A and B are shown apart, each in its own frame.
Chain A
Amino acid sequence: MTRQTTVEVTGSSQGTRRGTEIRLDGVTKDYGLAAPAVDDVSLTIEPGEFMTLLGPSGSGKTTTLNLIAGFETLTGGTISLNGADVSDVPPHRRNLGMLFQNYALFPHMTIAQNVAYPLRQRKMGKQEIARKVAEVLELVQLTGRDDTHPSKLSGGQQQRVALARAIVFEPKALLLDEPLGALDRNLRSALQTEIRRIHREVGSTFVFVTHDQEEAMNLADRIALFNNGRIEQVGTPQQLYAEPETLFTARFLGDSNVFELGQADLGGNVGWEGENWGVDPDTVATHPGVRKASAIVVRPEDVEVAGGRDAVPVGANTVRATVRDVEYMGSYRTLLLTMGDRGLFGRARVSALRGDYAIGDDVVVWWRPRSQRIVAA
Chain B
Amino acid sequence: MSSPTRTRRRPDTVDPIPWWLKVVGGLVIAFFILPTLFVIPMSFSSATTFQFPPPGFSWRLYENFFTNPVWLDSLGNSFLVASLTAVLATTIGTAAAVSLSRMDNRAARLVRTVLMVPIVSPAIVVAVAVYISFLGWRLTGTVTGYVLAHTAIAVPYVLVSVTGALGGFDQRLLKASASLGASPLTSFVRVTMPLISRGVLTGAIFAFIVSFDEVVIALFLRSPLFQTMPVQMYNSVTVEIDPTISAASSLMVVAVTIIFILPQLLRGRAGRRQEPRP
Contacts and interface: CB of A to CB of B under 8 A. Distances in A.
Contacts of B173: 104, 106
A69 B180 CA distance: 11
Nearest to A66: B175
Interface of B is mostly: helix
Contacts of B184: 92
B274 A149 contact: yes
Interface in A89-138: 90-93, 95-98, 100, 102, 104-108, 117-118, 121-122
Contacts of A149: 274
A275 to B, nearest CB: 54
B274 A102 contact: no
B181 A102 contact: no
B179 A98 contact: yes
Contact of B175 (A71, A90, A107, A122): A71
Nearest to A103: B176
Interface string B196-228: 000000000000000000000000000000000
B47 interface: no
A166 B178 CA distance: 11
Contacts of B276: 148, 152
B235 interface: no
Interface string B161-205: 000000000101101111111111010001100110000000000
B172 A92 contact: no
Contacts of A61: none
A230 interface: no
A121 B180 CA distance: 8
Interface residues of A, number: 30
Q: Give the interface size bracket for B toward A.
A: 20 to 34
A122 B172 contact: no
A208 interface: no
A165 interface: yes
Given A71-B175, A104-B173, A106-B173, A92 B182 contact: yes
A100 B170 CA distance: 12
A98 B178 CA distance: 10
Contacts of A50: none
A92 B183 contact: yes
B195 A69 contact: no
B172 A117 contact: no
Contacts of B191: 106
A169 B274 contact: no
B270 to A, nearest CB: 11
Contacts of B190: 117
A250 B195 CA distance: 47
Contacts of A96: 179
Contacts of B180: 92, 97, 117-118, 121, 165-166, 169
Interface string A163-183: 001100100000100000000
A121 B195 contact: no
Contact of B181 (A104, A108, A148, A169): A169
A98 B180 CA distance: 8
A365 to B, nearest CB: 49
A93 B184 CA distance: 11
Given A107-B195, A108-B195, A121 B176 contact: no
B274 to A, nearest CB: 7
Contacts of B194: 108
Contacts of A166: 179-180
Nearest to B169: A107
Contacts of A169: 180-181
A211 B172 CA distance: 20
10 contacts: A97-B180, A100-B176, A102-B172, A104-B170, A104-B172, A104-B175, A106-B173, A106-B177, A108-B194, A117-B182
The 3 closest A-B pairs by CB, nearest first: A104-B176, A118-B180, A98-B179
Given A97-B180, A106-B173, A117-B180, 13 more contacts: A71-B175, A91-B178, A92-B177, A93-B181, A98-B175, A98-B176, A98-B179, A102-B170, A104-B175, A108-B194, A117-B190, A121-B186, A166-B180
